[in-house]
C-alpha cells in the first residue's frame, strides 16, 4: 500500500468525523456513526472494515465526492482494486478528475492485471504522484510485465535515486543493467555486494565474469557469460535478457542458445525451439542434449528425457551433473537400480561436491534402498562437506531414524531445523521421530506445521496421512 494512502486517509476520516460531530449538519446519526467506525477501523489498521463503514455512509450521501475518494483509497489499501476503480469512477462523475485520483487509478489498474493501461495513466500525468517512490515501483512492475526492459531499467534507476536504501530495487537494477550492458553494471553490482551484510555471491560472480570477459573484447561473449552466471543463481528471467542480447550480436552462438532455451523453460516460457536449434547446430555438443533432457522431464515425458540425457552422457561421460540428471530420470521411469548406478557415478566423478552425495542419500531414503550401506554414508558425506546445509542434516537425521538410532536422529534433525525452522521435510521427519518415541503431542505439532507450511505439497500430504494414522 502506498504510504500516502495509509498516512492521509486516517487524518481525513477523523476530520470528517469531527465535522459531523461538532458542526451543524443535516447528516443522520447512522451516517455519523459509520464515519466514527471508519476512523476507528483505519486507526486500527483495518482498511477493509473502514471501507465497509464509509460505504455505509455513502448510502446516505451517494453524491459525496470526498467519501467516494476515501472509499477508493481504502479499497485499494484493502486489496480490492476493482472496488477502488468503482469509487474512482463515481468520483470522476461528480467532479473532473485530478492528478491524485489518476495516480490511484493507475495503481488500481496495475493491481487488476492491466500494466499497459496503468502505464498509459502514468504517462498522462504532467507531474509525479504524491508518493513518487511507489509510483516508480509501479512503473517498474508494469514495464517488466509488458516486456519493456529499457523502461523497466529506467524506472528502477529513478527508484534507486528516490530511495537509495531500497536494496531490492538496487539489486533489480544491477541485474537488469548486467543483462543489457555488463560493463556499466559493475558499480551497481559493487554497491549490491557492499549493501549485503555478508556480501552477495551473485554480485561477486557477475563482477568476476564481466571482468574476465572484458579481456576477450567480445560483447556477445560477455553477455553470454553474464547469462550463464544468472542462470546458475536461478535468475532465469534476467538470464534470458542477457542471452537474447548475446544472440542478437552473434546468432551462431550455440552455447548461448542452449542456455537461453533452459532459461526460457525455467522462467515459465517455452525454450524447446531454442534447445532444438542448438542441438541441431551442434549435434556433438552435450550441453543442448542435456538441457533438452531437462525440458522433456519437466514436461512429464521421461522417455524423451532419457534419450537426450543418455546422448549427453555419451558425448560427455565425465560430467557429474548429467549423471545426476540421469539418476532422476531413471527413477521417474521406475528403474531404481539404474538410478542408483547413475547417482553413485555422479559422486565418483565429483567426490568433493556435497550436492551429489545429497542426491544419492535422498534417493536411497525415498526408496528406502540400502539405507544402512548407501543412504547413511552418503548423507554423512554430504553433511561433512556442507555442515551448515539444513538439507544435508535433514537427510542424515532421517537416515539415523531409519536405521534405528533415534537419539542421534533427533539431535541432527534439531540442528537442521535450527538452520531452517520452516523446512517442511525436516519437520515431517521430526514428526515421524516423535511418533516413534510415543510423543504424540509433539508429533501432532510438527506434522500440523508441515501441513500449514506446505499446503498442497508432497510433504503436507505425507504429514496428513501420518496424522490420520495417529488419530484413527
Higher per-residue confidence, 380 vs 215: 380
Nearest-5° Cα angle at 216, 273 to 173: 65
Q: Residue for cell digits 504532467?
A: 126
* Angle at alpha carbon of residue 356, lines to 455 and 430, rounded to 5°: 40
pLDDT of residue 27: 56
| Residue 445 φ then ψ, to 5° | -60, -45
Q: How confident is the model at residue 239 (pLDDT cuts 50, 70, 90)?
A: very high
- What's the pTM value of the predicted model, to 2 decimals? 0.82
Calpha distance 162→382 (Å, rounded): 45
Q: Give the least confident one: 63-67, 97-101, 234-238.
A: 63-67
How confident is residue 34, by pLDDT bands cut at 50, 70 and 90? Answer: confident
Instruction: Check: CB of residue 276 under 8 Å from CB of residue 256.
Output: no
Whether the CB-CB separation of 313 and 322 falls below 8 Å is answered with: yes
Q: How large is the C-alpha radius of gyration of the chain?
A: 29
Tell me: pLDDT of 364 over 70.
Answer: yes
Phi, psi for residue 253 in degrees, rounded to 5: -80, 90
pLDDT in the model for residue 19: 44
- Tell me the C-alpha distance between 257 and 261, whole Å: 6
Answer for the pair 90, 61: CB distance below 8 angstroms, yes or no. Answer: no
What angle is formed at CA 11 by the lines to CA 8 and CA 14, rounded to 5 degrees?
150
128 Rama class: left (phi>0) / alpha (psi -120 to 50) / beta: beta
Spatial neighbors of 32 by CB under 8 A, at least 6 apart, are 17, 20, 21, 25
- Spell out the residues 6+ positions from residue 306 whose beta carbon is closer than 8 angstroms to its own: 293, 326, 329, 330, 333
The whole-chain average pLDDT of the chain stands at 92
pLDDT of res. 32: 78
Q: Give the whole-angstrom CA distance, residue 389 versus residue 410.
A: 16
**Alpha carbons 175 and 373: distance in angstroms, whole number:** 45
Q: Residues 184-199: what's their mean pLDDT? A: 93
pLDDT (tens digit per residue) in 106-151: 999 999 999 999 999 999 999 999 999 999 999 999 999 999 999 9
Amino acid at each position: 500500500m502506498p504510504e500516502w494512502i495509509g498516512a492521509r486517509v486516517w487524518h481525513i476520516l477523523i476530520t470528517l468525523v469531527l465535522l459531523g460531530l461538532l458542526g451543524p449538519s443535516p447528516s443522520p446519526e447512522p451516517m455519523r456513526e459509520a464515519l466514527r467506525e471508519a476512523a476507528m477501523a483505519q486507526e486500527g489498521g483495518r482498511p477493509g472494515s473502514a471501507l465497509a463503514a464509509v460505504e455505509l455512509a455513502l448510502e446516505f450521501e451517494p453524491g459525496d465526492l470526498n467519501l467516494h475518494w476515501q472509499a477508493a483509497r481504502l479499497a485499494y489499501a484493502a486489496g480490492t482494486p476493482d472496488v477502488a476503480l468503482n469509487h474512482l469512477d463515481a468520483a470522476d462523475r461528480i467532479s473532473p478528475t485530478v492528478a491524485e485520483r489518476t495516480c490511484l487509478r493507475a495503481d488500481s489498474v496495475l493491481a487488476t492485471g492491466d500494466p499497459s493501461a496503468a502505464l498509459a495513466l502514468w504517462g498522462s500525468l504532467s507531474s509525479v504522484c504524491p508518493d513518487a517512490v511507489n509510483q516508480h515501483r509501479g512503473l517498474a512492475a508494469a514495464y517488466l510485465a509488458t516486456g519493456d526492459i529499457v523502461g523497466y531499467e529506467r524506472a528502477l534507476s529513478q527508484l534507486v535515486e528516490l530511495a537509495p536504501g531500497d536494496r531490492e530495487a538496487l539489486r533489480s537494477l544491477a541485474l537488469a543493467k548486467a543483462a543489457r550492458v555488463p560493463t556499466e553494471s559493475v558499480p551497481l553490482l559493487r554497491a549490491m555486494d557492499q549493501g549485503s551484510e555478508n556480501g552477495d555471491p551473485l554480485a561477486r560472480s557477475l563482477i568476476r565474469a564481466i571482468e574476465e570477459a572484458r579481456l576477450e573484447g567480445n560483447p556477445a561473449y560477455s553477455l553470454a557469460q553474464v547469462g550463464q552466471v544468472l542462470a546458475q543463481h536461478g535468475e532465469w528471467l534476467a538470464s534470458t535478457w542477457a542471452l537474447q542480447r548475446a544472440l542478437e550480436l552473434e546468432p551462431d552462438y550455440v552455447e548461448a542458445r542452449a542456455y537461453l532455451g533452459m532459461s526460457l523453460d525455467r522462467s515459465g516460457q517455452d525454450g524447446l525451439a531454442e534447445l532444438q536449434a542448438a542441438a541441431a547446430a551442434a549435434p556433438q555438443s552435450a550441453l543442448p542434449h542435456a538441457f533438452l533432457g531437462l525440458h522433456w522431464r519437466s514436461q512429464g515425458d521421461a522417455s524423451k528425457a532419457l534419450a537426450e540425457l543418455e546422448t549427453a552422457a555419451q558425448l560427455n561421460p565425465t560430467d557429474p551433473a548429467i549423471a545426476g540428471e540421469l539418476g532422476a530420470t531413471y527413477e521417474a521411469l521406475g528403474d531404481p537400480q539404474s538410478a542408483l548406478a547413475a547417482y553413485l557415478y555422479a559422486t565418483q566423478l565429483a567426490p568433493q561436491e556435497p550436492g551429489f552425495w545429497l542426491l544419492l542419500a535422498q534417493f536411497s531414503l525415498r526408496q528406502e534402498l540400502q539405507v544402512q550401506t548407501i543412504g547413511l554414508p552418503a548423507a554423512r558425506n554430504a553433511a561433512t562437506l556442507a555442515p551448515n546445509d539444513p538439507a544435508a542434516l535433514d537427510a542424515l537425521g532421517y537416515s539415523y531414524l531409519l536405521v534405528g538410532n533415534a537419539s542421534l536422529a533427533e539431535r541432527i534433525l534439531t540442528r537442521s531445523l535450527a538452520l531452517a525452522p520452516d523446512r517442511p521435510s525436516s519437520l515431517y521427519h521430526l514428526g515421524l521421530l516423535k511418533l516413534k518415541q510415543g510423543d504424540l503431542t509433539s508429533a501432532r505439532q510438527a506434522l500440523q506445521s508441515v501441513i500449514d507450511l506446505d499446503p498442497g505439497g508432497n510433504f503436507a500430504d505425507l504429514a496428513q496421512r501420518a496424522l490420520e494414522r495417529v488419530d484413527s
